[in-house]
Amino acid sequence: MNDRLPAAPQRPVWSVAALLAAASDSLASRFSSCVVGGEISGFTRAASGHCYFSLKDAQGQSALIRCAMFRRAASLLDFAPGDGALVELRGRLTLYEPRGELQFVVEAMRRAGAGALFEQFLRLKAKLEALGLFDPDAKRKMPAFPRRIGVVTSTAGAALHDVLTALARRAPHIEVIIYPSLVQGDQAPAALVQALQTANARDEVDLLLLVRGGGSLEDLWAFNDEQVVRAVAGSRLPIICGVGHETDLTLADLAADLRAPTPTAAAELAAPSLQSNLEALSGLAAALQRRIELGLDSATLRLDRLSLRLSRPSALLSTQIRRLALLRQRLSQALPRLQALQNQRLNNLARQVSRATPVALLNQGLRLDALQARLAALDPKQVLARGYAWLDDGQGHALTSVRQLHAGSKIHAVLADGEAEMQLVSTTARS
């Protein structure tokens, strides 16, 4: 009896390269063009323009595939991809043979759920911006040294821990009051509005921190709700909004008085560092001490000088006596000099008067002679002496026209050496 087993049929032995090449051909034949949806993770853009990232399962399954999008396809994108974005990719499934890894080569990308939300985000942003809810002039000023800070967030999230840790480190003297609220889900907008209204109604804090950790656009959507944004803009208390990571932006960030990139940064913006304040106070105290010491030194020197002057009154009295003697001497010398000047001035005036009097008399005499000559020339007797006569009607009325006369009229005439009574014979009028 033969106990030996029959020999197994001989199977071909693949080389690694051949096996990977065969697998690549199989993938290329079946998945040469397909569409896959998921969430972007670890997105990077190389200097060459190529984009590399991983695509996670959008349903939360632990599945991930590496993706490559070359520069030409990336240049056709109409949006900026980022971590957490939900997208749909069109391309082909290949095998990267150098490492034996599956790789999805992306030929086109478009936004999925996040894209629709983003469009809704832009429309609501434009609407609220037109209503003035984001107006920079309406922003409230942050208190420089708050005594109480309110925090609106979920008590179960890491954001609260980050805020409390930052405040305890920077300003342990500041009291913190928490206004718990949901920060994700359908009930979150109403809860956030209620928390903000409660904080304003109680009015027990100096400012509010509205914070939440990072997440996808869907996770942060409660902070884009119109009612939440209106509650933030209408708050009487100043609000610092720190939602998500530095790249995340919500409408609540735009409506708040101050935006922080993270919850920790919001706490740092709200509370000045105790250590830096103490250092500033120490600097001011040192400067004040120096000013006081300089003032005291100056006052001490002045007091010493005054003390020296008071300790020797005789020296001061001697100085005053010398000053009075000098003034007396100057006065005694000034009086004779002043008197001499006045006498000289009087003498000069007397000489001027003595010289001016004869000239003035001569001028007045000449003027009197001229006036007398003019008066003599106007004397009526001089006119009569030249052959003229004064005629009147006997009543003292002067006769100056033949129209005042008629034949037989009596005329009284005054001549140079006497008077005459005459009777008119006839008159002749000239034209």
The DSSP secondary structure of 148-201, one letter per residue, reads EEEEEE-TTSHHHHHHHHHHHHH-TTSEEEEEE---SSTTHHHHHHHHHHHHHH
Inform me whether the pLDDT recorded for 55 exceeds 70: yes
pLDDT of the residue at 236:
94
Contact 243, 259 (CB under 8 A): no
Contacts of 155 (CB under 8 A, 6+ apart): 178, 180
Share of residues in the chain with pLDDT > 90 (%): 30
Residues 295, 117: Cα–Cα separation, whole Å = 68
Q: Whose structure tokens read 């008119």?
A: 424
Query: What is the mean predicted confidence (pLDDT) over 236-245?
Result: 91
Classified as helix, coil or strand, 294 is: helix
Instruction: Tell me 107's DSSP state.
Output: E
Q: With a cut of 80, say whether residue 295 has pLDDT above it.
A: yes
* Residue 317: strand pairing partners: none
Structure tokens at 51: 């984009």
pLDDT confidence band for 86 (50 / 70 / 90): confident
Residues facing residue 241 across a β-bridge = 210, 259
Question: Binning pLDDT at 50, 70 and 90, where does residue 5 land?
Answer: low
Among 391, 396, 383, residue whose Cα is nearest residue 422: 391
269 with 260: CB under 8 angstroms? Answer: yes
Residues 138 and 254 reside in one and the same domain? yes
Same domain, 253 and 286: no
70-80 pLDDT, tens per residue? 999 999 888 88
Asked if the model's pLDDT at residue 217 lies above 90, the reply is: no
Residue 357 lies inside a defined structural domain of this protein: no
Does residue 141 form part of some domain?
yes
Domain assignment of residue 47, yes or no: yes
pLDDT at 249: 85
Q: Spell out where 257-346 has E strands.
A: 258-259
State pLDDT tens for residues 91-107. Answer: 988 888 888 888 999 99
d(CA 94, CA 24): 6
Which of 245, 272, 299 is a domain's end point?
Answer: 272
pLDDT at 246: 77
Both 215 and 296 in one domain: the answer is no
268 and 138 fall within a common domain: yes
Assess whether 160 and 253 both reside in one domain.
Answer: yes
322-350 per-position pLDDT tens digit: 889 888 888 888 888 888 888 889 988 88
| pLDDT at residue number 389 | 85
Residues 231 and 168 in one domain: yes
In this prediction, residues 257-270 reach a mean pLDDT of 91
Angle (nearest 5°) at CA 403 between 402 and 405: 65
| pLDDT tens-place string over residues 161-212 | 999 999 999 888 899 999 999 998 889 999 999 999 999 999 999 999 999 9
pLDDT surpassing 90 at residue 416: no
8 Å CB contact between 195 and 205: no
DSSP string of 211-237?
A: EE----TTTTGGGG-HHHHHHHHT-SS
Compute the distance between CA of residue 4 and CA of residue 404 in angstroms, rounded to an integer. Answer: 199
Under the banding of pLDDT at 50, 70 and 90, the label for residue 47 is: very high
> Of 104, 98, 109, 101, which Cα lies nearest the Cα of 32?
104
Same domain, 257 and 295: no
Return the percentage of the chain with pLDDT > 70, whole number: 95
Same domain, 234 and 147: yes
Report the pLDDT value the prediction gives residue 113, as an integer from 0 to 100.
61
Instruction: Please indicate whether residue 383 or residue 410 has the higher confidence score (pLDDT).
Output: 410
* Residue 3: predicted pLDDT: 54
Whether residue 10 is contained in a domain is answered as no
Say what the pLDDT of residue 256 is.
Answer: 94
The confidence score (pLDDT) of residue 8 equals: 55
My answer on whether 101 and 161 are in the same domain is no
Q: Between 385 and 159, whose confidence is greater?
A: 159
Query: In the structure encoding, which two tokens stand for residue 367, read together?
Result: 């003027």
Task: Give the bridge partners for 46, in sequence order.
Answer: none
Residue 390 structural domain: 383-423
**One domain, residues 40 and 73:** yes
Here the CATH number for the domain that contains residue 179 is: 3.40.50.2300
Number of domains in the chain: 4
Q: Do 35 and 85 fall within a single domain? A: yes
Are 78 and 140 within one domain?
A: no
Write down the pTM of the prediction.
0.47
User: What is the rounded average pLDDT for all residues in the chain?
Assistant: 85
Position 84 scores a pLDDT of 78
pLDDT at 9: 60
pLDDT over 80 at 309, yes or no: no
pLDDT range class, residue 117, cuts 50, 70, 90:
low
DSSP tag of 5: P
120 in a domain, yes or no?
A: no
- Residue 244 reports pLDDT greater than 90: no
| Mean pLDDT for the stretch of residues 152-164 | 91
Query: Residue 176 falls within a domain, yes or no?
Result: yes
Residue 7 falls within a domain, yes or no? Answer: no
